[in-house]
Structure 1
């Protein structure tokens, strides 16, 4: 258990030996779902997983902000005695990992940016259209659940339904989404709303491009080619970074390690041992 400087208890676990890779989950308000990633990496490196403040197995209390979560990530680093670390983030976690690398470049040996949404905010409208198209008739149930108070089981149903759109193969999408929801922890909607609101107010593409142009940390960007979040949103990040490699995983959506585990694992291990 990691204890932050303000006394918040964060769940964390480690496996393997060697170079330390700290995994930052998506959300905001979700929890670590990196079991399959850890299984691939742990035979070769030291893998550290954690649940962010208020999420999953961590203590459910705020405050919730990007800066606070960056400080919590640094508390994880200190707890495990790391001078430097590889930081891997998925989705919202990719935003967190990038922000940490910009704020603490001397603490980051490599950055792995998985299924992120880039430096701007224009992708949201396209995401909503793509979500509706991929859900098809199931979109009506999603809208119904979102529009009213829900039971705990309906909260889980809503998450599984929305997550199912994150996969390219419709025949397997619900199964993958159910796998992400097991074990199930309640989504922290307060955390989600607070950090998303802050991002809308302070996440400015022009300023971030300028900051990224000074970041010398070797970076791997991994995209699923069929992610419903438009991949062009990440282009300005790739172009701004001084040292970036990009791998696009064909026939995969937002969670490429479930749909294309061999290609995803190979991309990560090649980058970790050759960069």
Structure 2
């Protein structure tokens, strides 16, 4: 499930801030990372960074509540083929407006994507949703089908049902393979605490379990991020997570995602070429989840590809196969 990266850089508490900042500036992030554009939106502003020229490929963040920085550089291989990579912070995450007067939901993200498309002044987008990001990607494709050139589901959930499948897989993993840890978590719940409580969340996140749930080969973990942000504006937003998943998110999805449910009847006239690419060893977005969505789509619409030696982060564990799969899909469908 969602990884709450709560580590921040406490520059203001540092006795030698100027020296640290000077060192940071010796190796600034290359453009466009951290040097993007704000767009006026319903609740304030959204934010994006564009890299390359051509058809925009919009990366949609996971979590829910995570920001765009995890994707920096991950799709560089598409730029020589006439694609522009868009790193996007929708309402609630990253550098976009993070506080709004209503609960966060995928519906807000759908309209944020449309606002982005209008700003880019393009007739169609390629949408690439990773993990939770697949849910607003699918909802946008259903709402504005004539404005999507291709849909790419990267180890992605498709709706609230698949997000619950994600939760159930995580529970099974802990209970079956880490019984001592599961017993500790159950003892916290026995106190009447929800899984959103600080005590539960602190016990829930565990490097060993995370390696098993996320990775086929945990040694590849260090290569996940091509670049790292030192800006606290790029941190995750737990309020988005709890609004969408509910206050007991590691047991039952009960937030705004609960009623986001799809079935095959919604895709009768769906003709957007779709790539579903998933890690065979992914305990978050399981192969079962990917196959469920694949079966909903009309015959001939979707391509389903399992990368056999990856977990949740396909581009980090099998980069060559990942790049070849996406490049072939996008260039042959034009």
TM-score scaled by length of structure 2: 0.70
SS of the aligned residue for 1:223 comes to strand
2:302 is the alignment partner of 1:254? no
SS of the aligned residue for 2:127 comes to strand
State whether residues 4 and 72 of structure 1, in contact with CA within 8 Å, keep that contact through their aligned partners in structure 2.
Answer: no
2:274 is the alignment partner of 1:219? yes
State whether residues 65 and 92 of structure 2, in contact with CA within 8 Å, keep that contact through their aligned partners in structure 1.
Answer: yes
Partner of 1:54: 92
2:235 to 186, 197, 217: 186
CA deviation after TM superposition for structure 1 residue 114, in Å: 1.0
Q: How many Å separate the matches in 2 of 1:129 and 1:186? A: 29
2:261 is the alignment partner of 1:204? yes
2:108 is the alignment partner of 1:68? yes
State whether residues 196 and 242 of structure 2, in contact with CA within 8 Å, keep that contact through their aligned partners in structure 1.
Answer: no
Q: How many Å separate the matches in 2 of 1:19 and 1:159? A: 40
Q: Residue 79 and residue 147 in structure 1: after superposition, are their counterparts in 2 closer, same or farther (change >3 A)?
A: closer
CA deviation after TM superposition for structure 1 residue 21, in Å: 1.0
**1:124-273 matches, cutoff 5 A:** 124-131=167-174, 149=198, 158=205, 163-164=210-211, 165-173=213-221, 175=222, 183=230, 185-196=234-245, 197-200=255-258, 202-205=259-262, 208-229=263-284, 230-242=286-298, 243-273=301-331
2:117 is the alignment partner of 1:117? no
Q: How many Å separate the matches in 2 of 1:141 and 1:186? A: 28
Partner of 2:77: 40
Q: How many Å separate the matches in 2 of 1:231 and 1:214? A: 25
CA deviation after TM superposition for structure 1 residue 39, in Å: 2.0
CA deviation after TM superposition for structure 1 residue 108, in Å: 0.3
SS of the aligned residue for 2:326 comes to helix
CA deviation after TM superposition for structure 1 residue 53, in Å: 1.4
Superposition CA RMSD, Å: 3.1
TM-score scaled by length of structure 1: 0.84
Structure 1 stretches lacking a partner, 5+ long: none
Q: How many Å separate the matches in 2 of 1:136 and 1:177? A: 29
1:11 to 47, 50, 57: 47
**Greater helix proportion:** 1
Q: How many Å separate the matches in 1 of 2:168 and 2:140? A: 27
CA deviation after TM superposition for structure 1 residue 213, in Å: 2.8
State whether residues 142 and 161 of structure 1, in contact with CA within 8 Å, keep that contact through their aligned partners in structure 2.
Answer: no
**Deviations 1:117-139 (Å, cap 9, x if unpaired)?**
34534523123222566678777
Partner of 2:13: none
2:132 to 68, 92, 96: 92
SS of the aligned residue for 1:98 comes to helix
**Deviations 1:197-218 (Å, cap 9, x if unpaired)?**
1111x1234xx32112321101
Q: How many Å separate the matches in 1 of 2:92 and 2:207? A: 21
